Amino acid sequence: MIFPQTILKISDNSGGKFLKCIKVLKKGAFTRKGNLGDIIVGSVRKLRNKNRHLSKVKKGDIVYALIIRTKVPSTRRVGLNIAFSTNDVVLINKSLRPIATRVFGVLPRELRLSKFSKIISIANGLT
């Protein structure tokens, strides 16, 4: 689960390394926690060392991000629990398109059912 003030790792080649969650965007009932496939608003906290001047984001930028991995286990329909070792996000723009051109690591299958087909196509694989 992702709450405001959580530090997350950025898993794409947009140039950012860490992001701090500001708000979890969810439609429907009032909730403050985010899970796989939810969109958050965050601030870029640290940049990668290589090619800082070519980075697509800058330190302190307010960006939208999609949660792709969480440490807290999520349950699939068949009863299988899946958890990752880190909390990771992919940076997206307002039209839900990825800012980067590559996504590092594998993505969970739960994202395949949502409207993020472009992110899935640039990732390494699905789990």
Kindly state whether residue 111 falls inside one of the protein's structural domains.
Answer: yes
pLDDT in tens, 57-114: 999 999 999 999 999 998 888 999 999 999 999 999 999 899 999 999 988 888 877 7
Question: What per-residue confidence (pLDDT) applies to 65?
Answer: 96
Number of domains comprising the chain: 1
- Half-sphere CA count of 94, side-chain side, radius 13 A: 1
In this prediction the pTM is 0.90
Kindly state whether residue 104 falls inside one of the protein's structural domains.
Answer: yes
The CATH number for 94's domain is 2.40.150.20
Name residues whose C-beta falls within 8 Å of residue 123's C-beta, 6 or more positions apart in sequence. 103, 105, 106, 107
d(CA 99, CA 102): 9
pLDDT in tens, 3-45: 999 999 999 999 999 999 999 997 666 678 888 889 999 999 9
> What phi, psi does 121 have (nearest 5°)?
-70, -25
Kindly state whether residue 107 falls inside one of the protein's structural domains.
Answer: yes
The boundaries of the domain holding residue 85 are 7-122
